[in-house]
Structure 1
Amino acid sequence: MNTQQVADRLVALCREGKYEQAQQELYADDAVSIEMEGAPGAGPGKVQGMDAIREKGRRWMESIVEIHGGSVGDPVVAGNWFSMAMGIDATYKDMGRMPMEEICVYRVRDGKIVHEQFFYDVG
């Protein structure tokens, strides 16, 4: 798949809430995931490899009490990179209800996502 196809597929799966399927289908085994520095509940700022990315996602899902809504924007593609806006309105065990919006940036190599990085306001 080219970058546009990977981006379109990721958006489709995220809009359906199929994040684990997206990771299994679209991510390289050695992918890197980077969160914002100082983000509450984000855990380690940078993890590498699918086992670590899945664990990070599992811990995040366990921190959620209820999801009230969310959004996934259309992708913007440039070469091997794409970005999209995402939003979630959720109640967390340790932070209460907190709506959040972020820009997600991805790099694609050989038809797989090899890098993801999230940008959002902290605090």
Structure 2
Amino acid sequence: MNTQQVADRLVALCREGKYEQAQDELYAEDAVSLEMPGLPPGALGDAKGLDEIREKGRKWAQNIVEIHGGSVSDPVVADAWFSVAMAIDATYKDMGRMPVEEICVYRVRDGKIVHEQFFYSME
């Protein structure tokens, strides 16, 4: 798959809430996942390798009590990179209800996502 195809598939799966399927289908074994610097203690941080990314996703999902809404934008693609705006309004076990909006940036190599990085406000 080229970058546009990977981006379109990721968006489709995320809109359906199929995050684990997206990881299984679209991520390289050596992919990295980067969060914002300066996260508070106990927050889910960076992950290196598909197994760590899967575990990070599982921990995030297990912390959710209820999802009230969310959205995933269409991707913007440039060469081997694409970005997507995502939003979720959810109630978490450890934080209560908290809406989050972020820009997610991905790099594709050989038809697989090798890098994801999330940008969001921590105020």
TM-score range normalised by the length of the shorter chain: over 0.9
Once residues 44 and 21 of structure 2 are traced to their aligned partners in structure 1, the CA distance between those partners, rounded to angstroms, is: 22
CA contact (8 A) 1:35 1:42 kept: no
- The alignment covers a number of residue pairs equal to 122
> 2:118 maps to what in 1?
118
What whole-Å deviation, never above 9, does each CA across 1:71-104 have from its counterpart, x for those lacking one? 0000000000000000000011111100010000
> 1:91 maps to what in 2?
91
> 2:9 maps to what in 1?
9
* Identity of matched residues, %: 80
Once residues 43 and 74 of structure 2 are traced to their aligned partners in structure 1, the CA distance between those partners, rounded to angstroms, is: 25
Residue 63 (structure 1) shift: 1.2
> 1:109 maps to what in 2?
109
Unaligned stretches of 5+ residues in structure 2: none
- 3-state SS of paired residue (2:13): helix
> 1:42 maps to what in 2?
43
**Residue 73 of structure 2 aligns to which amino acid in structure 1?**
G
**Residue 29 of structure 1 aligns to which amino acid in structure 2?**
E
> 2:69 maps to what in 1?
69
- 3-state SS of paired residue (1:58): helix
Structural RMSD (CA): 1.0
Once residues 42 and 84 of structure 1 are traced to their aligned partners in structure 2, the CA distance between those partners, rounded to angstroms, is: 22
What whole-Å deviation, never above 9, does each CA across 1:34-87 have from its counterpart, x for those lacking one? 01123355323x211111001101111111111101100000000000000000
TM-score (norm. length: structure 2): 0.95
